[in-house]
Amino acid sequence: MLHKDMEKALNDQIKWELWSGYLYLSMSSWFASKGLSGFASWMKNQAGEELFHATKMFDYVNERGGRVVLQTVEAPPSQWKSPREALAAGLAHEGEVTSRINNLVNLAVKLKDHATAGFLQWFVTEQVEEEASFGDVVNKMDLVGDGGALYMLDKEVGARVFSWPAAGTE
């Protein structure tokens, strides 16, 4: 059975993952309004990943005999000064997510909840990918700036596709 402290912490993280999805949908809308459909698509795919993460945690809490209690999800920001600022905000956000996942692992270890510590290793690995993905796009943005090459980068990032993993393969 899931320890009550772990259950509360996972519920808080589910809220955070849902808010992350909201943030990236907000960014997607902002990019679309700027005519950057590739970045809009990239962020929409990112939002899908975050909602998948929330669902994965949701299922885990229920599987361990806990109870998910959904919390209010506040509105995310909706304006950025530039595409680079929006992407940098996403990268910083992923750093915060990594910190939160690490805190969950630390709590699981403290509680000697080896099942949850093992479950969370998937998220630890996922955060390496998330930060690298955002970091790569921010670095490319620094290379191209806001000039004509932004059009080419928009096309490149727009090619990203997110597909929900089949059950049992995640």
User: DSSP letter at 75?
Assistant: P
- Give the integer Cα–Cα distance in Å for 15 and 53: 11
- Taking alpha carbons only, the member of 99, 116, 119 closest to residue 108 is 116
The CA distance from 48 to 135, in Å, is 19
Confidence (pTM): 0.87
Section 51-58 average pLDDT? 98
| pLDDT tens-place string over residues 146-164 | 666 766 777 777 777 777 7
Extents of the domains making up the chain = 4-157
User: Rounded to whole angstroms, what are the CA distances from 153 to 44, 107, 145, 157, 160?
Assistant: 16, 40, 10, 6, 12
- CATH 1.20.1260.10 is the classification of domain 4-157: yes
3-state secondary structure at position 100:
helix
Q: Tell me how far apart the 2 most distant CA atoms of the chain are, in Å.
A: 56
**pLDDT tens for residues 80-138?**
999 999 999 999 999 999 999 999 999 999 999 999 999 999 999 999 999 999 999 99
Chain center to CA of 158: 18
